[in-house]
């Protein structure tokens, strides 16, 4: 199995933020999470070392809370990308297999691409593989300098490049596959005599060539995959790239999305065929939506939601951590969270599951069994269960379990005072 080193120590000055760059989010998932998820999904990497620096503790906590088979290594001070990778030398002591190096601020890298890079490296029996890309506007990237015969010579950073070298359109994507046993001695030889006074990882190319190691480039096909985040604008651009990909995937899978521009669906959401998503829906986090459902317009699905087939979720309905069985309708103005809803249920307009107790800060569960009908404007105060077939009258405030096939009514009887208005007017 391969090991990964993920560079994430940089400050990200242009984000103008109190939180480290790699913890900025797309669909509420940190950039680093995207990279780690692709690493895991590739299926060829058994451990990741994340190099941290700026606000390292926050990154530590995120990794510890969300990932196994990964650890952070502090780089302090941050003396460049070569110095960053060298932080993993002790941890990888005795390891001589392949290491893939990725950046924590490049969230769109795909698991198949990670697999392809390592396969390419192995098939070519390479010692060092650098990932390159061809950009019409290569500004700010390191340029790949090749020999007349096309073999790799070195990488020059923009700040160190000659005017001729600046014309080169093949750039360094910042991803590498290294035969660790053969290259780990390079790091003590890196020099910082360059424009930025840093130990550049890119110098490993020239080092490899000089030491007779097989040093090659893998040219990436889809430049979007190496889109790096340096600013809030980049973050919005990356969200849009991901958005378009996700929308296209669902359209290809037989989902109707009436207004792709106004529909946001997280990459971790599955949707069955013949489901229709109406305009202005925001579907975030991890969810499963079945076949033949109707979602929206203006629905907000916040994650942890599983919806079976034939369900209708209408306008201004918010769902969180909720399972909904088939052919149930939650059509208007409702909040349903931490709930299990059976099949053929009708939830009337304006129903709320009151799942949160602000005094104890506890969240409790609401269970609504099959064939239940909840009248409009009801509040189901959790923990509470509405048993099979029961009805709740409109404006019910339900604080106890309701038995099967019964009616629960909590409103005071209606009084009509005949002629009351006229009497008032005569006064």
Active site residues: 332
State the minimum distance, in angstroms, from the CB of residue 294 to Ca ion: 43
Do the Cβ atoms of 158 and 140 come closer than 8 Å?
Answer: yes
Residue with the CB atom nearest ligand UD1 in the bound state: 142
Cα–Cα distance between 399 and 401 in angstroms, integer?
Answer: 7
Nearer Cβ to ligand UD1, position 7 or 392?
A: 7
Q: Whole-angstrom distance between the N-terminal and C-terminal Cα of the chain? A: 90
Nearer Cβ to ligand UD1, position 24 or 387?
A: 24
Sign of CA dihedral 400, 402, 406, 411: positive
Contact stretch for ligand UD1 (CB under 6 A) within 25-33, 100-108, 176-184, 401-409: 100-108
Cα–Cα distance between 203 and 187 in angstroms, integer?
Answer: 9
Nearer Cβ to ligand UD1, position 78 or 206?
A: 78
Report the relative pairing of strands 366-368 and 128-134 from DSSP bridges.
unpaired
Angle at alpha carbon of residue 324, lines to 322 and 329, rounded to 5°: 120
Name the 3-class secondary structure at 186: helix
Q: Is 171 in the site for ligand UD1 (CB under 6 A)?
A: yes
In sequence order, the 6+-apart residues with CB closer than 8 A to the CB of 326 are: 290, 308, 309, 310, 311, 343, 344
State the minimum distance, in angstroms, from the CB of residue 136 to ligand UD1: 15
State the minimum distance, in angstroms, from the CB of residue 106 to Ca ion: 8
Contact stretch for ligand UD1 (CB under 6 A) within 1-9, 33-41, 264-272, 302-310: 1-9
Q: Is 7 in the site for ligand UD1 (CB under 6 A)?
A: yes
Residues of span 128-167 touching Ca ion by CB under 5 A = none
User: Among all chains, which residue has been given the structure tokens 């998932």?
Assistant: 29
State the minimum distance, in angstroms, from the CB of residue 56 to ligand UD1: 11
- Please choose which of Ca ion, ligand UD1, none residue 79 contacts, taking the beta carbon within 5 to 8 angstroms, the exact cut-off set by kind: ligand UD1
Contact stretch for ligand UD1 (CB under 6 A) within 3-11, 181-189, 244-252, 410-418: 3-11
Binding mask 187-226 for ligand UD1 (x = CB under 6 A): -------------xxx------------------------
Cα–Cα distance between 122 and 119 in angstroms, integer?
Answer: 5
Q: Is 170 in the site for ligand UD1 (CB under 6 A)?
A: no
Cα–Cα distance between 365 and 354 in angstroms, integer?
Answer: 9
Q: Is 174 in the site for ligand UD1 (CB under 6 A)?
A: yes
Which H helix or E strand runs over 252?
A: helix 232-252
Q: What share of the chain is helix, strand, coil (3-state, %, to 5)?
A: 25, 30, 45
Q: How many residues does the chain have?
A: 427
Contact stretch for ligand UD1 (CB under 6 A) within 167-175, 293-301, 313-321, 371-379: 167-175
Q: How would DSSP label each residue in 281-337?
A: -EE-SSEEE-TT-EE-SS-EE-SSEEE-TT-EEEET-EEEEEEE-TT-EEEES-EEE
- How large is the angle between the packed helices 56-66 and 31-42, nearest 10 degrees? 40
Contact stretch for ligand UD1 (CB under 6 A) within 75-83, 243-251, 285-293, 308-316: 75-83
Of 38, 42, 72, 75, the one binding ligand UD1 (CB under 6 A) is 75
State the minimum distance, in angstroms, from the CB of residue 7 to ligand UD1: 3
Which H helix or E strand runs over 209?
A: helix 203-210
Of residues 365, 357, 366, 374, the one with CA closest to residue 410: 374
Nearer Cβ to Ca ion, position 228 or 260?
A: 228
Contact stretch for ligand UD1 (CB under 6 A) within 26-34, 103-111, 127-135, 364-372: 103-111
Q: Is 51 in the site for ligand UD1 (CB under 6 A)?
A: yes
Binding mask 203-232 for Ca ion (x = CB under 5 A): -------------------------x----
Range list of β-strands (E), 364-405: 366-368, 373-374, 379-381, 384-386, 391-392, 397-398
- Please choose which of Ca ion, ligand UD1, none residue 267 contacts, taking the beta carbon within 5 to 8 angstroms, the exact cut-off set by kind: none
Tokens of 95: 């390891």
State the minimum distance, in angstroms, from the CB of residue 127 to Ca ion: 25
Chain positions contacting Ca ion, by CB under 5 A: 228
Chain positions contacting ligand UD1, by CB under 6 A: 7-10, 51, 53, 75, 78-81, 83-84, 103-105, 141-142, 155, 157, 171-174, 200-202, 228
């Amino acid at each position: 199995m391969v090991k990964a080193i993920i560079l994430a120590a940089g400050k990200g000055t242009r984000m103008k933020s109190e939180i480290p760059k790699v913890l900025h989010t797309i669909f509420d998932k940190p950039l680093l999470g995207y990279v780690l998820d692709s690493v895991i999904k590739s299926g060829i990497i058994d451990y990741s070392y994340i190099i941290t620096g700026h606000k390292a503790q926050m990154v530590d906590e995120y990794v510890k809370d969300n990932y196994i088979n990964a650890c952070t290594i502090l780089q302090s001070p941050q003396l460049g990308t070569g110095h960053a990778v060298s932080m993993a030398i002790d941890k990888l002591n005795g390891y001589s297999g392949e290491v893939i190096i990725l950046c924590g601020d490049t969230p769109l890298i795909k698991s198949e691409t990670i697999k392809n890079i390592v396969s390419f490296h192995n098939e070519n029996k390479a010692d060092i593989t650098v990932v390159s890309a061809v950009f019409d506007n290569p500004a700010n990237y390191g340029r790949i300098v090749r020999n007349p015969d096309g073999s790799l010579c070195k990488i020059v950073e923009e700040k160190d490049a000659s005017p001729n070298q600046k014309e080169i359109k093949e750039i360094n994507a910042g991803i590498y596959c290294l035969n660790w046993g053969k290259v780990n001695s390079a790091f003590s030889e890196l020099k910082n005599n360059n424009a930025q006074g840093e130990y550049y990882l890119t110098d490993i190319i020239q080092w490899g060539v000089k030491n007779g190691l097989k040093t090659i480039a893998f040219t990436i096909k889809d430049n979007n995959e190496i889109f790096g985040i340096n600013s809030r604008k980049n973050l919005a651009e990356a969200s849009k790239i991901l958005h378009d990909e996700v929308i296209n995937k669902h359209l290809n899978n037989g989902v109707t999305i009436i207004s792709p521009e106004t529909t946001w669906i997280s990459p971790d959401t599955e949707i069955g065929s013949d489901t229709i998503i109406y305009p202005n829906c925001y579907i975030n986090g991890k969810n499963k939506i079945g076949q033949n459902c109707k979602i929206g317009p203006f629905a907000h699905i916040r994650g942890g939601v599983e919806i079976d087939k034939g369900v209708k979720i209408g306008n201004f309905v918010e769902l969180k951590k909720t399972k909904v069985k088939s052919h149930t309708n939650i059509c208007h103005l409702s909040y349903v969270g931490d709930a299990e809803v059976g099949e053929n249920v009708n939830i009337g307009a304006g129903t709320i599951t009151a799942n949160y107790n602000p005094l104890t800060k506890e969240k409790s569960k609401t269970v609504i069994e099959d064939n239940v009908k909840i009248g409009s404007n009801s509040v189901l105060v959790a923990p509470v269960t509405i048993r099979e077939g029961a009805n709740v009258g409109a404006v019910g405030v339900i604080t106890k379990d309701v038995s099967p096939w019964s009616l629960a009514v909590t409103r005071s009887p209606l009084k009509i005072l005949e002629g009351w208005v006229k009497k008032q007017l005569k006064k």
